[in-house]
Structure 1
Amino acid sequence: MKSLEGKVAIVTGASSGIGEAIASDLAGKGANLVLVARREERLKELADKIGGSSSQKVVVVQGDVTKKEDLETAVQKAKEEFGKVDFLINNAGVMLLSFLKNDKIEEWEQMVDVNIKGVLFGIHAVLPEMLKQGSGHIVNVSSVAGHEVFPSSTVYSATKYAVRALSIGLEKELSKTGVRVTNISPGAVSTELTEHISDKEVLQMFESSGSTTGFLQANDIAHAVTYAVSQPDYVNVNEMIVRPMQKKE
């Protein structure tokens, strides 16, 4: 794998979980960072942590991926500080599982806004610069829920199927431009995402399911991202599915 020394990565949803782990892993491999999330204090804490353990530069941008202007600002700050953007990690997402019959319309809209529009706005903000420089790498974080649907995941899965479709289509469009695209689909990861589920029936279902499936750690997905962006320029890792192993009974 090639070195990431001097590369510049924008990471959305970087204030916790997978996004935080991705930022730390990329910095550990030599990349400079622009961190984007709504929780500015969490971003500053992460920036201080990375700065204390490496020589990489970190720029913090308080932003909401549902606002295209915030992602445009992140790209502009990357250009001002580093002169370029090499990687966009479209990681921000929400998982508000619910049964359709329970009519959580506001949560449906939130998932569409963050999981689909947020990815599109990131692409919108960074693609002109990448095409101009003839290089770049867009990594979209989807989910195994973008490959299969389970009870309560209907809307969430729909958004993650959309992320996969965007990744596939974008990769085909950009195949001769020097800009690469990777779709990464994590399985169950131990993060705070499940803490935001409000549907009591879904929570009860999880409690009674007795699943034998374990959980991945955020670092497992971060390593997958780093692997994809560390490949030689002639290699495009189109898609990766990362699942936890089944627990022994």
Structure 2
Amino acid sequence: MKINNSHSIITGAASGIGRAFLYELCSYKNLTILVADIDETSLQATLRALPENSHRWVPFTGDLSQKEQIDALFEKAKNELGTVDFMVANAGFAYYESFKYEDWGRMQKIFDLNVLSPLYSLQKMKTLNGPKPHYTLITSSAMAKLAIPGYALYGAGKAALDRFLDAYRFESHDSGKVGMIYPIATRTNFFQEAVADSAQKPVVPWPSQTPEQVAKAMIQGIVHEKRHIYPSLFHQVTRFPQQLYEWLLYPYQAFYARELKKWESRFQNRR
């Protein structure tokens, strides 16, 4: 996919990986970018700090854990951009804690933003673009592949995204493509914000990388429309046994992909 002269949506754009990604986009030409974040002050400060270029930045402030806010985001995209060549569904957060409480709302909050929001956005991208080719990149985590104590709910959500993509690749037959990036711990304020008390310091997993490294990998993933993106070579190499197991199971998944097509065909013939 060509990035020059494209239309895009970036969520979680005011800090961390999202902010670094905006800086990477500044080296391209004539972009129209709908930038979204929950913090209007941080979003405006980020846009003011970007170098002058030929881009058109369209800000959107909203809580993307809410369906209505995602609908509003895509309504604005329709009015301001028309169609969207690529979207980076990057908004998300973590808890660092022991899971020993009864709080439905707290659990729902993290799954609404980290899981349901990008999946619903993927559907909205298909509706907005129709047959026009497009690409959706979802920010997952290395914790989707390896759970780390203290980040149980965060890892569970990222693993849910990973399993979704593993099945969805067999189901999707439209013009839209989807990819997922799996950063290791990134040196931003992300982990500090995972604790309830700002005076406490969370345990940050080793190894780590800069948000700029992740942003560069995201660019390459978009250009080549990759399904899986691993910004850390260390992570990619160390998970080879796991990846080999996944490859061995591919025929099993392919069999059930054919069964799904047969089932859908029978259902359509009955209508």
Per the normalisation by structure 2, the TM-score is 0.77
- Check the 8 A contact 1:228/1:237 in 2, yes or no: yes
- Check the 8 A contact 2:8/2:84 in 1, yes or no: yes
- Structure 1 CA distance for aligned equivalents of residues 20 and 170 of structure 2: 29
Cα gap change, 1:179/1:27 in structure 2, threshold over 3 Å: closer, same or farther? farther
Displacement of 1:124 = 3.1
Displacement of 1:11 = 0.8
Match of 2:227? 238
- Check the 8 A contact 1:66/1:121 in 2, yes or no: no
Match of 1:89? 88
Structure 2 gap ranges (5+) = 236-271
Match of 1:165? 163
- Structure 2 CA distance for aligned equivalents of residues 223 and 171 of structure 1: 24
- Check the 8 A contact 1:108/1:155 in 2, yes or no: yes
Task: State the one-letter code of the partner of 1:40.
Answer: E
Match runs of 1:26-175 below 5 Å: 26-30=25-29, 31-50=31-50, 52-101=51-100, 106-130=105-129, 132-174=130-172
- Structure 2 CA distance for aligned equivalents of residues 82 and 58 of structure 1: 11
Match of 2:11? 12
Task: State the one-letter code of the partner of 1:237.
Answer: K
- Check the 8 A contact 2:38/2:63 in 1, yes or no: yes
- Check the 8 A contact 1:11/1:34 in 2, yes or no: yes
Match of 2:249? none
Cα gap change, 1:191/1:106 in structure 2, threshold over 3 Å: closer, same or farther? farther
Cα gap change, 1:199/1:83 in structure 2, threshold over 3 Å: closer, same or farther? closer
- Structure 1 CA distance for aligned equivalents of residues 192 and 102 of structure 2: 19
Match of 2:215? 222
Task: State the one-letter code of the partner of 1:241.
Answer: Y
- Check the 8 A contact 2:192/2:202 in 1, yes or no: no
Cα gap change, 1:189/1:103 in structure 2, threshold over 3 Å: closer, same or farther? farther
Displacement of 1:72 = 2.0
- Structure 1 CA distance for aligned equivalents of residues 201 and 79 of structure 2: 49
- The CA deviation string for residues 129-162 of structure 1, in whole angstroms up to 9 with x for no partner, is 23x1331001010001100112112221110001
Cα gap change, 1:23/1:100 in structure 2, threshold over 3 Å: closer, same or farther? same
- Check the 8 A contact 2:131/2:174 in 1, yes or no: no
Task: State the one-letter code of the partner of 2:33.
Answer: L
Segments of 4+ in structure 1 off by > 4 A?
102-106
- Tell me which structure has the larger Cα radius of gyration: 2
- Structure 1 CA distance for aligned equivalents of residues 65 and 227 of structure 2: 25
Cα gap change, 1:81/1:115 in structure 2, threshold over 3 Å: closer, same or farther? same
Cα gap change, 1:204/1:198 in structure 2, threshold over 3 Å: closer, same or farther? closer
Q: Aligned residues: percent identity?
A: 21
Task: State the one-letter code of the partner of 1:23.
Answer: L
- Check the 8 A contact 2:12/2:92 in 1, yes or no: yes
- Check the 8 A contact 2:64/2:113 in 1, yes or no: yes
The number of residue pairs the alignment matches comes to 232
Taking only aligned residues, the RMSD between alpha carbons, in angstroms, comes to 2.5
Residue among 170, 176, 181 paired with 1:179: 176
- Check the 8 A contact 1:27/1:54 in 2, yes or no: yes
Match runs of 1:177-216 below 5 Å: 177-198=174-195, 206=203, 213-216=206-209
- Structure 2 CA distance for aligned equivalents of residues 229 and 185 of structure 1: 14
Task: State the one-letter code of the partner of 2:81.
Answer: F
- Structure 2 CA distance for aligned equivalents of residues 117 and 145 of structure 1: 18
